[in-house]
Chains A and B, each alone.
Chain A
């Protein structure tokens, strides 16, 4: 019995030890497996997991980039940045949010509507995200908040950078304005999408929009360590972004301000151009509005006021206003006729006034002057703006030859190519155009009225300015520019647009007579000092066909309803001795060019020519503060 027992326990022990040995071997293998797994994860794949771990814990916050500035020719900032006083709250840092927000409401005198909006916004964000309570506080309210900070735990007064237009409505149509980026901006512009942060402001119109890529700058980046719930734990790095480029324009703020003043209470446009460089000295469309209103979002009332204004402040009339040029086309008609050798300067026509209109193929064509101009040659006809003369010239010239010259001088096509997205083409008609566009044949009567700038022909004020500039510089092609360091080199710059330079001289002389000789249409607006003397051509473009009844009534401008009054136009260049600047003026529904538009040119030229010295000196790097 005992023996059996011993052998039995020996068997059991043997089996136990054998199995222990088997298991020990297995354990060593398994341990090897675990160690190799550790090796694989921690040594071989370490880089991959280190990256993943950093991705987990490091998060970047983009800050809004600082927008580049616009400067005028003399380096004055015309669109800059200012420090906006804002009020931020991080809800989780506030002990008693209800108390604080009511206290803020009280201090800032918020309306219930604004207050509800803020509370709604608070409920949409995470408690550690910033709630912007006010984005542009006045200094009084900002300091009031600062004085009560002891009572407002968690409220942060913040100074942030925002857009500022110091000259208010002066540059609105040139620069455009900025406002909060919307979905459309993100979809159409990759750059905006890439740099987007809530509250980012982007250009909506004008140069602000065209030069978005250069202006936007690059985001500053804050790198934070965050925990699993996205809360910031500590700041790891701050990478400063670059400010957007500063863009220098060719515009002279003083002259721009004068144009704004001259067009006050009127609808219209003034463009001033350097006739050699093509630099835009001033370009204004009236009425204008204050672009600062848009930076923080415009109020509904203000927006409706701008939108519903019958004078259309939102339209940049200099570039997108299509007007019949009226008599301002006459220099081109005359030039075209001379160039094509249709007439000689001594070609004479008898004008018998609109009592005895010109009759052609059953239609009658009236001159503006009741009594008529008698026998007039080219110079005389330009001087007194005789319509009858130009009817006859146009009839002989034909619209196709006229359109060639007109297009050559810049009419009927965009002046700034793609710099402004709202620029219009205008229209210089010819027989082919009518056939294609309207499907009807050109009739001679249309040629005749085209000769005095009526009918199909449409031009923008900037086109008229360019046309005048190219006549003034002796007939050479120029490319207008508004950005000072625009280095685009055009191969055909300064190529002659004439066949005989004498013809240009004749037209220039005729324009001179129109302003500086007795019976000239803008004689009353002349400047006698040879230093300032300028030459120009008036224009009065009809908005509505003049009936026989109108002619009999012969009403004064103010007696006619506003919408039916003529547009007043004037194009000019000066100083006459050695021309340097050209301008175009248009006053919508202003009346006659000679009485409404031309007097503005008188004031403008005085300043333009005075400031020419300053501009020249500035070119020679002599600093001058204006």
Chain B
């Protein structure tokens, strides 16, 4: 028994290689290919800046994910707090020395690339909280002390991102954190009461919103109140999706995007363009790919031996699901416009980097599924 485990623990390179989740990998590759094709279409059927840049990022970060897969999950466990602290430091750095673009300081200049720490925080907050709850005894999870500590872990980066200002990302960070809390076994009543509280305090929160954010909420409730101004994005997005029809207008034939009616078509609204060109069928297939990916991630979690890996995989999978749902709901007019990219599909290095790190850790959990963490 001991020998068997030892043998197993050796985890030779080829064995790790064989242990990779190839379904997940191929789904990610398909998604990458689809995102490149869509990016090609946003560039008007030419290989221009966005396509090229997206391709390079995908290739680099996908390779990085493979590298991460071979690093022992223990390493990531040990890095939990440190990485969180580093990203937190980067967020503080951003506030002071960040690059300002379109009214908010979100990026820091790393000479060879500009990075958006808030995107990375979406992953590393999961890592940090997973580590925190891994060690905790079941009866302590609902203690006042742990509750306070985990809430602080969530609120600090969240507030740092809010003041950038970037409401969308800060909400996504909070959701990622809360998801971990949920899986860690925090009492249902906390979620129930906080939901109730936030609904009650909604009018107060709205009164604290910036005018443009209030406008977004009002626009969501009635996009036609200002069809050429605040409502323009959502109206054009719905037109694009709706006009796609069952089979879509065809690759490179999406008039809404080609004729520049779609705003932010490279980033947050990329699904709109995809949906216009590939229709209901394409959209459902895309959703299916995402579903398979999320299912595989959760399955890896289920098969993992360590609580940390399970918690991370479940939370990461759920977070990806929530990002996808929020992004799609937004472009389909089910939610107000908040800046939230569609994982892997949307143009943006930091988002891609964070997602790929996340998948890398998941893959590492797969290759080291028998690894137990003290």
Binding site for B on A (CB under 8 A): 8-9, 11-13, 15-17, 19-20, 23-24, 27, 30-31, 33-35, 37-39, 41-43, 45-46, 48-50, 52-53, 56-57, 225-229, 233
Contacts and interface: CB of A to CB of B under 8 A. Distances in A.
Interface of B: 137-139, 141, 182-185, 236, 238-246, 255-256, 259-261, 275, 279-280, 283-284, 287, 291, 294, 298, 301-302, 307, 310-311, 314, 318, 321, 325, 328-329, 332, 334
Nearest to A45: B242
B325 A30 contact: yes
B25 to A, nearest CB: 22
Given A16-B314, A23-B182, A34 B238 contact: no
A56 B318 contact: no
B371 to A, nearest CB: 15
B182 A19 contact: yes
A8 B242 contact: no
Given A46-B246, A49-B242, A228-B259, 7 more contacts: A12-B141, A16-B314, A27-B321, A33-B334, A42-B241, A42-B246, A227-B260
A165 B261 CA distance: 48
Nearest to A42: B280
Given A42-B246, A46-B242, A46-B243, A16 B328 contact: no
Contact of B314 (A20, A50, A52): A20
Nearest to B295: A24
B374 to A, nearest CB: 11
B307 A12 contact: yes
A31 B321 CA distance: 9
A57 B182 CA distance: 47
B287 A31 contact: yes
A27 B292 CA distance: 13
A20 B314 CA distance: 7
Contacts of B284: 35, 38
B259 A34 contact: no
A16 B137 contact: no
Contacts of A53: 239-240, 242-243, 255-256
B259 A57 contact: yes
B318 A9 contact: no
A38 B183 contact: no
Secondary structure at chain A's binding surface: helix, strand, loop or mixed? helix
B258 to A, nearest CB: 8
Secondary structure at chain B's binding surface: helix, strand, loop or mixed? helix
17 contacts: A13-B310, A15-B138, A16-B185, A16-B307, A19-B183, A24-B298, A27-B318, A34-B328, A34-B332, A37-B334, A41-B241, A42-B241, A49-B242, A50-B245, A52-B242, A57-B261, A227-B261
Which 10 A-B residue pairs are closest in the complex by CB-CB distance?
A49-B242, A53-B243, A15-B185, A227-B259, A42-B280, A228-B260, A11-B138, A49-B243, A41-B242, A46-B245
Contact of B245 (A11, A23, A37, A43): A43
A34 B137 CA distance: 38
A441 B284 CA distance: 96
A242 B144 CA distance: 84
Contacts of A45: 242
B242 A19 contact: no
Q: Which of A38, A43, A45, A48 has the most CB of B within 10 A?
A: A38
A33 B328 CA distance: 11
Nearest to A28: B291
Contacts of B334: 33-34, 37
A33 B334 CA distance: 10
Nearest to B281: A42
Contact of B239 (A13, A43, A49, A227): A49
Q: Which of A30, A35, A48, A49 has the most CB of B within 10 A?
A: A49
Contacts of B301: 20
Contacts of B244: 42, 46
Contacts of A15: 138, 185
Contacts of B287: 31, 34-35
Contacts of A13: 307, 310
A50 to B, nearest CB: 5
Contacts of B236: 56
Nearest to A49: B242
Nearest to A13: B307
A158 B241 CA distance: 42
Contacts of B275: 38, 42
B327 to A, nearest CB: 10
Nearest to B328: A34
Contacts of A42: 241-242, 244-246, 275, 279-280, 283
A53 B283 CA distance: 19
Contacts of A35: 284, 287
Contacts of A33: 334
